[in-house]
């Protein structure tokens, strides 16, 4: 007989480790839940004798070892993945602060001047940098920053506060209706790849998904989405290249309604925010969605390439106005030393960053978490 191991898995996740949901046998589950005392007495066990559990490692550690023995090393947690993805940004920010402050005995207003270039260099943007510096100066004037560690802690707190202050904007589908997610942005930012990764994440949660190939501009775009469809086991609703994007959207949404699909993700052609005819096309697609499912699209995700930095902000402003963007996906965070742009986006656009792309594989999409991000920028391990 097999039992669901989810209580154990939850316990490990609370402990900061992401673990694949797995099944434990009845026997191993009861072993894991046995008290430490009775385990010590349990003869013939590989855990018997003067082992780690007798030395105060605790129940979590015990269960972790248990799971690792049974299933191998746990997957890296979101925090680990985030730390890895922002390595270059961290070097550009946190490690440069160490370098610049290395010779400084006392942190006062004038030493803080050196920080400006570092914060701008990591792409936090002018407004955000000024805001952070003015708060730091107030503290420095009152001699409240005793060393570099304290300085970094204060910056980290402000970064977190800015990221945490953006309200969620996405709507919720009515009960029994599919959730409609529209993905927009300029060419090459990573829209189609993000859709593939999102489909993968939703499938992992056992949700049913349909992809809608409304980027009818290029035949290659439809094929690219189909590759992601077969990789993730998700059907793609499509039309011929050059077809009307609103027509394929109409078909996809009706199919989803009829099949009670959980989520539909719509790929759209890359467009420049300055092309009014293409922006009008997005509005037409939104109106079509609205007619089939009132309230749709529930989420309009603007995909931005982190490597384009501050230039992306103006783009984002115009998209937000005409396409009603509800959230940002920042891709290619793995390839930039300027990941501070996340903070500028939140502060200057007031839009929540919903996901970050940290690579090209299906699992390389992280739900954005302000605390993890701020922690990763300043972590020392
Ligand atoms: N390193 C990295 N590459 C990415 C990421 N997201 C997308 N890409 C790559 O960016 C390129 C453009 O992606 P694509 O999805 O075709 O962009 P689209 O034109 O906006 O649909 C592809 O080579 C992707 O593999 C990411 O998070 N990290
Ligand atoms: Mg594409």
> What is the residue with the minimal CA distance to atom 9 of ligand 1?
190
Q: What is the mean pLDDT of residues 323-341?
A: 92
In this prediction, residue 102 has a pLDDT band, given cuts at 50, 70 and 90, of confident
Ligand 1, residues 231, 331, 365, 366: which to mutate, most atoms within 8 A of Cβ?
Answer: 331
Q: Do residues 136 and 154 touch, judged by C-beta distance below 8 A?
A: yes
Q: What is the pLDDT of residue 309?
A: 78
Name, in order, each residue with C-beta under 8 angstroms of 251's C-beta and a sequence gap of 6 or more: 237, 239
> Which residues are CB-contacts of 200 (< 8 A; sequence separation ≥ 6)?
231, 232, 362, 363, 365
Which range, of 19-23, 77-81, 151-155, 289-293, averages the lowest pLDDT?
19-23
Q: 51: pLDDT confidence band, cut at 50, 70 and 90?
A: very low
Q: Quote the pLDDT of residue 46.
A: 36
The whole-chain average pLDDT of the chain stands at 83
The pLDDT score that the predictor gives to residue 60 is 64
pLDDT in tens, 147-160: 899 999 999 999 99
Query: With 60 as the cut, is the pLDDT of residue 27 above it?
Result: no
Residue 286 contacts residue 182 (beta carbons within 8 Å) = yes
Confidence at residue 177, expressed as pLDDT on a 0 to 100 scale? 95
* Per-residue pLDDT band at 93 (split at 50, 70, 90): very high
Cβ atoms 320, 199 nearer than 8 A: no
When mean pLDDT is compared over 25-39, 65-79, 300-314, the highest value belongs to: 300-314
Query: Ligand 2 mean position to 221 CA, how many Å?
Result: 5
Q: Is the pLDDT of residue 277 over 60?
A: yes
Q: Which residue has the higher pLDDT, 243 or 56?
A: 243
The better pLDDT of the pair 220, 69 is held by 220
Can you say how many angstroms the Cα of residue 72 is from the centroid of all Cα atoms in its chain?
Answer: 25
pLDDT at residue 10, as a whole number: 45
Rounded Cα distance between 351 and 328, Å, is 7
Residues 6+ apart with CB under 8 A from 368: 330, 342, 352, 353, 354, 355, 356
Ligand that lies nearest to the alpha carbon of residue 303, given by its number in the listed order: 1
25 vs 116, which has greater pLDDT? 116
Ligand 1 closest atom vs CA 186: 20
Q: Read off the pLDDT band of 70 (50, 70, 90).
A: confident
Residue 373 has pLDDT above 70, yes or no: yes
Q: Residue 24: its pLDDT value, please? A: 37
Considering every ligand atom shown, identify the ligand nearest to the alpha carbon of residue 88 and give its number.
1
Rounded CA gap, 1 and 357, in Å? 40
Q: Residue 67 — very low, low, confident or very high, per pLDDT cuts 50/70/90?
A: low
- pLDDT at site 314: 82
Region 58-67: mean pLDDT is 66
Tell me: pLDDT of 228 over 50. yes
The stretch 85-90 carries a mean pLDDT of 93
**pLDDT tens column, 231-272:** 999 999 999 999 999 999 999 999 999 999 999 999 999 877
pLDDT value of position 172: 92
Q: What is the mean pLDDT of residues 222-236?
A: 97
pLDDT for residue 358 is more than 50: yes
pLDDT at 311: 80
- Kindly report whether the peptide bond that precedes residue 297 is cis, defined as omega within 30 degrees of 0: yes
Distance 19 CA to ligand 2 centre (A): 31
pLDDT (average), residues 323-343: 92
**Confidence class for position 100, pLDDT limits 50, 70, 90:** confident
Across 10-14, 41-45, 143-147, least confident range: 41-45
Ligand 2 centroid distance, CA of 295 (Å): 25
* Mean pLDDT confidence for 49-73: 57
Whole-number pLDDT of residue 76: 78
Residues with CB under 6 A from ligand 1: 185, 187-193, 270, 303, 331-332, 334-335, 357-360, 364
**Longest C-alpha distance within the chain, in Å?**
76
Q: How confident is the model at residue 273, as a pLDDT? A: 66
Q: Which residue has the higher pLDDT, 338 or 32?
A: 338
């Amino acid at each position: 007989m097999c039992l669901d191991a989810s209580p154990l898995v939850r316990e490990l996740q609370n402990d900061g480790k992401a673990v694949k949901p797995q099944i434990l046998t009845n026997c191993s589950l009861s072993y894991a839940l046995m008290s430490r005392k009775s385990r010590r007495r349990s003869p013939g066990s590989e855990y018997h004798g003067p082992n780690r559990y007798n030395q105060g490692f605790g129940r979590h550690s015990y269960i972790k070892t248990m799971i690792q023995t049974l299933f191998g090393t746990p997957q890296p947690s979101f925090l680990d993945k985030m730390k890895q993805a922002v390595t270059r940004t961290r070097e550009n920010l946190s490690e440069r602060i160490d370098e610049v402050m290395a010779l400084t005995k006392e942190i006062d207003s004038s030493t803080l001047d050196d920080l400006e270039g570092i914060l701008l260099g990591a792409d936090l943007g002018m407004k955000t940098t000024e805001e952070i510096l003015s708060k730091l100066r107030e503290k420095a004037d009152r001699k409240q920053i005793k060393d570099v560690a304290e300085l970094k802690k204060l910056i980290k707190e402000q970064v977190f506060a800015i990221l945490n202050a953006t309200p969620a904007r996405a709507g919720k589908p009515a009960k029994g209706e599919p959730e409609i997610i529209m993905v927009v942005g300029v060419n090459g930012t990573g829209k189609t790849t993000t859709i593939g990764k999102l489909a993968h994440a939703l499938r992992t949660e056992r949700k049913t998904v349909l992809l809608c190939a409304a980027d009818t501009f290029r035949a290659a775009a439809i094929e690219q989405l189909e590759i992601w469809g077969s990789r993730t086991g998700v059907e793609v609703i499509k039309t011929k290249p050059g077809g009307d994007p609103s027509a394929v959207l109409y078909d996809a949404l009706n199919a989803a309604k009829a099949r009670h699909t959980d989520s539909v993700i719509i790929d759209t052609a890359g467009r420049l925010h300055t092309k009014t005819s293409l922006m009008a096309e997005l509005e037409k697609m939104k109106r079509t969605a609205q007619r089939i499912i009132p309230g749709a699209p529930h989420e309009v995700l603007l995909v931005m390439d982190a490597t384009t930095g501050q230039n992306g902000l103006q783009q984002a402003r115009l998209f937000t106005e005409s396409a009603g963007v509800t959230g940002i996906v920042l891709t290619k965070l793995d390839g930039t030393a300027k990941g501070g742009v996340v903070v500028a986006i939140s502060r200057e656009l007031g839009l929540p960053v919903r996901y970050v792309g940290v690579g090209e594989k299906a699992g390389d999409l992280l739900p954005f978490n302000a605390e993890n991000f701020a922690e990763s920028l300043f972590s020392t391990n």
